[in-house]
Amino acid sequence: MNIFCIGRNYAEHAKELGNAIPDSPIVFLKPSGSYIEQPTLISLPWIVGAIHHEVEIVIRMGAKLEPKDWSIGIDLTARDVQNVAKEKGQPWTFAKGLKNFAPVGNWVKFEQDWKSTKWSLGLSVDGTEKQNGSSEMMLWNVPRLIKLVDESFGLKEGDLIFTGTPKGVGPLGHGSKVEALGESSGSCSNLKFQCQ
Ligand code: ZN
């Protein structure tokens, strides 16, 4: 399984981190070892500094370049490590790819008209809403992302695409209770866990 992640796919999030809105999507990878499904407790390496939540819609590919299902997910990010990597022009693997840094909720099957699927997504920490958005704010929508990732890298059945995060990213702490929710035409995907 390959885990492709899209950076700066929501204009307001690019701005909040002081980044320009890119001409084409930023793509990076997480190792499959960072994947964890429906966790209730996640151990995080606090020694790396600030660990931020980025709530995202995650697409899972089926056969013939058709997505099979989707889930809510969190692109956990060691922000201090990422800032140093950005300064030094180094890759983001230690910032984005650590163990348990790609949690997802329950998978929801796509209906037939997956190309026009719209989502809302949100995340709260200890009961306080931190992020909410909608897929209509994406700079590159899901059909365009699938085409781009496949043309450049080749998409295989079972591969995931994290489609980027709306604004409101921020730090988690030891003991934080995280709730993420994605909704699309009456179906929803949940992810609820505590950090330790
Ligand atoms: Zn992200």
Residue 65 CA to ligand 1 centre (angstroms): 22
Residue 5 CA to ligand 1 centre (angstroms): 6
Q: Which residue, 133, 142, 110, is CA-closest to 180? A: 133
* Domains delineated in the chain: 3-195 (3.90.850.10)
Residue 54 CA to ligand 1 centre (angstroms): 5
Residue 7 CA to ligand 1 centre (angstroms): 5
Residue 187 CA to ligand 1 centre (angstroms): 23
Helices (H), 47-195: 79-88, 93-96, 142-153
**Structure confidence at residue 142 (pLDDT):** 96
**Structure confidence at residue 100 (pLDDT):** 97
Structural Rg of the chain based on CA atoms: 15
Tell me the average pLDDT across 157-184: 97
Confidence band (pLDDT; 50, 70, 90) for 12? confident
How confident is the model over 49-80, as pLDDT tens digits?
Answer: 999 999 999 999 999 999 999 999 999 999 99
> Which residues, at least 6 apart from 101, have a Cβ–Cβ distance to it below 8 Å?
30, 34, 75, 76, 77, 78
Confidence band (pLDDT; 50, 70, 90) for 1? very high
How confident is the model over 128-166, as pLDDT tens digits?
Answer: 999 999 999 999 999 999 999 999 999 999 999 999 999
Residue 186 CA to ligand 1 centre (angstroms): 25
CB-CB neighbours of 23 under 10 Å: 5
Residue 38 CA to ligand 1 centre (angstroms): 18
Q: Kindly report the backbone phi and psi dihedral angles of residue 91, in degrees, each rounded to the nearest multiple of 5, phi listed first.
A: -65, 165
Gap between the Cα atoms of 17 and 83, Å rounded: 10
Gap between the Cα atoms of 102 and 187, Å rounded: 22
Does residue 110 carry a pLDDT above 80? yes
Residue 153 CA to ligand 1 centre (angstroms): 19
For the chain, what percent of residues have pLDDT higher than 70? 100
